[in-house]
Chain A
């Protein structure tokens, strides 16, 4: 999956514009980095990447780049 595609999917999940996202953006700076968004991330990983994302793994994410790396 290309980085552009990843950012597009994440922008949709985070409910923000893709221009506002970059790999070094801190997740805590997102407007709605809350439990529902984290749940959406779990679903995204399952649907688009075929991967299971756990709560523990989410806790370890600091930046958008960390999430993108998981999407490999």
Chain B
């Protein structure tokens, strides 16, 4: 029997690995044979995820990605400890629900720093010589919000749209090093961010319409992790520069 998604012996870096889709992706990658390197702010949450990983050779590092200027030194140190990478999943991200008039520059910077700027900076650092193995796959967790406008979502949608655009550039510029880059664009997934959305939207008409259009229902983190694992694998060797919906039908309905 053929194993299509084989990540055996691949070393995969996952940011935002302490919860939600990041944690789910880390666990799945370990189940598929990868050695996983977890990064997030909360050390105790990282330790909880570590316990769930299968196999050995996994590591975790507590780090706050909002410290953009410290990422280079952090990645250098990380690579020196774990070795070159075969994959990178950027799951770190914060939600932002603010009407335009309430978006002060500091908030916009915060959202862009964590959701987008840290993604670019990590990619810049891990694509340097001796930091990656040939065939490395980069996956950013974007959102259907990258292609949909909505009230009170200026900062969040902009950060996800930026992720979608940047992987198109990464893909072309890094192809010569046999590096691929893609984003996955999840719709409403059963995570903390969805809980916050429900708190804000309540039983509003807009929320009802969104769930009607997402006719396969609420997604689970595993639905997104499955696609990410595929993109990390050699089975996806011909997919790069793409933004792939994992959306329960919402973008097509």
* Residues in chain A within 8 A of chain B (CB atoms): 12-13, 15, 35-36, 39-40, 42-44, 47, 54-55
Contacts and interface: CB of A to CB of B under 8 A. Distances in A.
Interface stretch (B67-75, B78-86, B95-103): B95-103
Nearest to A55: B202
B102 A55 contact: no
B199 A39 contact: no
Contact of A40 (B102, B104, B204): B102
A39 to B, nearest CB: 6
Contact of A43 (B99, B199, B204): B99
Contacts of A35: 204
Interface residues of B, number: 12
A40 B101 contact: yes
B102 A44 contact: yes
A47 B101 CA distance: 13
A43 B98 contact: yes
A55 B200 contact: yes
B152 interface: yes
B152 A55 contact: no
B151 interface: yes
Contacts of A44: 102
B198 to A, nearest CB: 10
Given A15-B101, A35-B204, A40-B98, 15 more contacts: A13-B102, A36-B99, A36-B152, A39-B97, A39-B99, A39-B102, A39-B152, A39-B200, A40-B101, A40-B102, A42-B200, A43-B99, A43-B102, A54-B199, A55-B202
Question: By DSSP majority rule, is chain B's interface helix, strand, loop, or mixed?
Answer: loop
A46 to B, nearest CB: 10
Contacts of B151: 36
A54 B195 CA distance: 13
Nearest to B205: A35
Nearest to A41: B102
B199 A55 contact: yes
Interface in B135-176: 151-152
A17 to B, nearest CB: 16
Contacts of B152: 36, 39
Contacts of B104: 47
7 contacts: A36-B151, A39-B97, A40-B98, A40-B99, A43-B99, A47-B104, A55-B199
Nearest to B103: A43
B106 to A, nearest CB: 10
A54 to B, nearest CB: 7
A31 to B, nearest CB: 15
Nearest to B104: A47
A54 B198 CA distance: 12
A44 B104 CA distance: 11
Interface string B232-252: 000000000000000000000
User: Which 6 pairs from chain A and chain B are nearest by CB?
Assistant: A43-B102, A40-B99, A36-B99, A43-B98, A40-B102, A39-B152
